[in-house]
Amino acid sequence: MKKDKSVFTEKIRSLLRETMTQEGMGLLNNDIIQLPEIWDRPSSSTAKYHKREDGSVQTIAEHTYEMLEAAIIPHESPRFELLGIPGSRIKKEGRKEVKRQLRSTAIDMVCASIVLHDTLKYGPENIDLLLPMDHGGDDGKASAIKRKHTTTKHPKLIADFVSRRRTLYADHYTETQTDMIIEALRFHAGKWSPDAGKFFTFRTKSPLTFFLHFLDMMSAGNKIKLVGG
């Protein structure tokens, strides 16, 4: 993750260092450097969602950190098998042992999905990769850094980005695990996702997909309250 002015990007880095495996963190960093630097951009360009009590709008970094905290901290004792992700048994044997066992592929999948899900919310930096934007005019031709509005196409954009890089994922994830990450990104907006279709349902999706959507909606609605945050 590139340097920027947001305190929340530092909090994200710290939490990921404590939680992810070295391999998972390295793969995620390789993704991040290919994506636009939009961590300080508003999560909602219209200020309709992601509003705090004082009326201000979360940055993408704040939104992402909030989701990470909500996902990881409550699960220091339960098992991530509840999400249909194998290989993450976490025992109640003290915080040190818990932290050691948290460093698993399952946790990497959850963290990667959360960190990546809104990274193309303002579209890609390379305008040649743009899908038709939600807003017309010059804004549709601008880079992600300068674009004024978010795009509802971002779930498809980021899922397609990871899909194109799936050979890199093979060094750390199985094919099934990579498919789960891509699906979670593609449908994290639920029925509003571009690829959802008329009869979309979470019943046919991985639990990870619903988990990411649930966290996203809870944060967008200001329903996640962090202790001391």
**Residue boundaries of the structural domains of the chain:** 7-218
The whole-number average pLDDT for the span 28-57 is 82
Mean of all residue pLDDT scores within the chain: 79
Average pLDDT over residues 54-78: 78
Sequence length of the chain is 229
Tens digit of each residue's pLDDT (9 = 90 or more) over 79-118: 455 555 544 444 444 445 544 444 688 889 999 999 999 9
pTM for the predicted model, two decimal places: 0.81
Of 9, 75, 39, 25, give the one whose Cα is nearest residue 208. Answer: 75
* Average pLDDT rounded to a whole number, residues 186-207: 94
DSSP string of 38-61? Answer: -TTSBS-TTSSSSB-TTS-B-BHH
Higher-confidence residue of 127 and 159: namely 159
Q: Are the beta carbons of 13 and 67 closer than 8 angstroms?
A: no
* Residues 69-85: tens digit of each pLDDT: 888 865 543 445 555 55
Mean pLDDT in residue range 159-180? 94
